[in-house]
Amino acid sequence: MPFPPSTLAERLMPALFVVIWATGFVVARLVAPHAEPFTFLFIRYCLTIAVLGGLCLAIGALWPRTARGWRDGLVAGVLLHGIYLGGVFWSVSHGLPAGIAALIAGMQPLLTGALAGALIGERVSPRRWLGIVTGFAGALLVLVPKLGGVDGLAPMAVLACTLGMVSITMGTFWQKRTGAGSDLRTNAVVQFVGAALVTLPAMLLVGEMRFAPAPAALAGLAWAVVILSMGGILLLMHLIRKGAVAGVASLLYLVPPVSAVMAFLLFGESLAPVQMLGMAIAAVGVAIASRGA
């Protein structure tokens, strides 16, 4: 074996995170006809709290011992999950094309790199900046065929999606600064409590509270709880703890290419040559950014 198993696991984690994160777009497509976005998200958060919280209690995981520890987890949950997912889901449900939403969300690594020095004193090297910009160019090429219908975009939908992008960026910084000494498992539970608390009033204000228990909706919910909310978020927090936030954020450039491949395989969506070129460029950008310390 060329390197120890622990090193192999660490090297596989970024790729696994990208694949898991990309399935979120598949889940969104599956459940959209059957559930109102805030209702779906609230049910997802509550089930995750029950399942992951129960596991933490069963294995004796350490919970926050101070009010500050609970506060830090709640704030991270509001930013990383509640506002981010709520903003993206709401904007898409109110007419923002998925390609435009993905493009706005894809600005996160650029914003992260721009703010890393001021907020957490993390220097972003020229090489990492090159990787960030290259990755964005690749992600943009992947999304080019999906950017039709730009005319007449609802300003509130664009604003909501942008707010979501800013929120997950701030949440990444917050988690980097406050989550170093916490148990990742119980910290995730506290985060989902924060996400549920901010999603509940949004769900009540929307008024629909619609969730039809169709097989696609139930399958999407199960995947969202077990794989996305538990596996994906724990991986994200681990990567944030171990690496530079700008490098971790750059991984999100690989999400649109992987999502495009999944849509091609599962839903028969077209995959144009320019998208394949974009995938290659995005991969190069992430490779440069991940080694740009």
pLDDT per position as a tens digit, 20-29: 988 887 787 7
Helix (H, G, I), strand (E, B) or coil at 292: coil
| pLDDT value, residue 58 | 96
Residue 159 phi/psi, 5° resolution? -65, -40
Contact 221, 74 (CB under 8 A): no
DSSP 182: S
Q: In whole numbers, what is the pLDDT of the chain averaged over residues?
A: 84
Query: How confident is residue 92, by pLDDT bands cut at 50, 70 and 90?
Result: confident
Q: Which residue has the higher pLDDT, 4 or 204?
A: 204
Query: How confident is residue 14, by pLDDT bands cut at 50, 70 and 90?
Result: confident
Helix (H, G, I), strand (E, B) or coil at 216: helix
Domain ranges for the chain, please list them.
36-290
Length of the chain: 293
Contact 171, 84 (CB under 8 A): yes
Angle between helices 184-206 and 37-59 (to 10 degrees): 150
Whether the pLDDT of residue 181 is over 70: the answer is yes
DSSP 254: G
Question: What is the distance between the alpha carbons of residues 103 and 137, in angstroms, rounded to a whole number?
Answer: 11
DSSP 68-109: HHHHHHHHHHIIIIIIHHHHHHHHHHTT--HHHHHHHHTTHH
The model carries a pTM of 0.82
Query: Closest Cα partner for 71 from 201, 177, 203, 169?
Result: 177
Question: What is the distance between the alpha carbons of residues 123 and 245, in angstroms, rounded to a whole number?
Answer: 10
3-state DSSP percent of the chain in helix, strand and coil, to 5: 80, 0, 20
Overall average pLDDT of the 170-180 stretch: 89
Query: Closest Cα partner for 242 from 52, 25, 13?
Result: 13
